[in-house]
Structure 1
């Protein structure tokens, strides 16, 4: 039995509104972390809430992509590469902590993880390339690419000392530059985890095709405009 068209239309609208509300609350939480860190005058410290939140998001991203690798065979190799890449970023974020061993020690585990991640990918080159193609054609790939651009390009350019020195002149305060750079990185990490979660949800749909097919049938009842 199919639901009335008006009911399906209302459900689609409510579903979109629900997604917006969830993402709005999520991003409001990210902004709250930044506000708290600024109020506590603790932005650049390794123990700041911003830094700890970045690490938490990276941990979630690493494990989410590991879960995707187990659930979706088509993008398994690509998901393993993504998981390894973000694990290296997490190690890089822990550079100050790892400096306790010796200065620059973070490079040792980072290189080890890089080797353990890339070697299997190169060994299965054709499968890896196909897997990457599937991953880049997924719905969540656009958000992942935008978030990576925000993290690796925009945040670096936006956080350049020269920019903020020119903007503030003689009243230059380094903490302002740090707030701008670290908050942008935090937003990027939050979007990266959202994209990883999107990959995970798609993998779950493929594991339970019957449930997703029922939803798709219901969505087809929405009248085309």
Structure 2
């Protein structure tokens, strides 16, 4: 039956599968770090700008995470209210990353309007099904995916903002301060946070798939 709550215990993850996933995640993080390094080394004219590797990678990570959440909700049909709320949050972040393009090529404030069109209906649907949301959240909150998602949100939306403050880097660098240091610190930490969010969504999709297989086998 569609949109049932997941069973209490999904099929366990084997050690070999865990090692494989860990290796792939390490390679992803390493590739992002190397890309940021190459941007700083070889592309000074695009460094930390909307045209640079870091900004494009941030958008790519958010786009893939959004697509996976839609897959989990619409195809695997697991945690529909939790995944809807997560999708609204992540897709709104993707829209926010395009703020300069939207302001310059659509109209000033376009990204705020688009975010509102995504967030308001999603919140309405989640609030309307709040009992179901709380039950789904209880099933999701103790998972590895949720811990990673929370870490990604804290890294991206809290730590990167505080770590990238101009006042902090002015205090560290004193008379050698340049805005490039602030931009590098904030954008690279933000990139890492988005990577954690994507990994969390991948783990959620894999968890949902195991729930689906467990239900089909029961």
Which category of TM-score, normalised to the shorter sequence, fits these structures?
0.7 to 0.9
Could you list the per-position Cα deviations for residues 98-148 of structure 1 after superposition, in whole angstroms to 9, with x for gaps in the alignment? 112332221111111111211111222211222222222222111111111
**Which residue of the other structure, out of 154, 157, 160, is the alignment partner of 1:155?**
160
CA RMSD of superposed structures (Å)? 2.1
Runs of 4 or more consecutive aligned structure 1 residues displaced over 4 Å after TM superposition: 14-17, 71-74, 210-213
Distance 1:210 1:175 in 2: 52
Contact 1:140 1:199 in 2 (8 A): yes
Query: SS of 1:102's equivalent?
Result: coil
Q: 1:112 to 1:20 in 2, by over 3 A?
A: closer
Give the match for residue 30 of structure 1: 32
> Is residue 135 of structure 1 aligned with residue 140 of structure 2?
yes
Q: Distance in 2 between matches of 1:74 and 1:201?
A: 11
Are 2:106 and 1:84 equivalent residues in the alignment? Answer: no
| Shift, 1:15, TM fit | 4.8
* C-alpha contact 1:33 1:49 (8 A) present in aligned 2: yes
Q: Deviations over 1:138-179 (max 9, x none)?
A: 221111111111111100110000011111111111111111
Q: Deviations over 1:171-215 (max 9, x none)?
A: 1111111111100000000110000000000111122239999xx
1:4-153 equivalence runs, <5 A: 12=15, 15-39=17-41, 40-41=43-44, 42-71=46-75, 73=77, 75-100=79-104, 101-153=106-158
Structure showing greater Rg:
1
Residues 56-105 of structure 1 show CA distances to partners (whole Å, capped at 9, x for unaligned) of: 10001111111111355552110011011111111111110111233222
**Structure 2: runs of 5 or more not aligned:** 1-13
Unaligned runs of 5+ in 1: 1-10, 214-225
TM-score norm. by structure 1 comes to 0.83
Aligned residue pair count: 202
Moved more, 187-196 or 104-113: 104-113
Relative to the length of structure 2, the TM-score reads: 0.85
CA–CA distance in structure 1, aligned partners of residues 215 and 132 of structure 2: 28
Q: Would the aligned equivalents of 1:33 and 1:50 in 2 still touch at CA under 8 Å? A: yes
Mapped contact 2:81–2:133 kept (Cα < 8 A)? yes
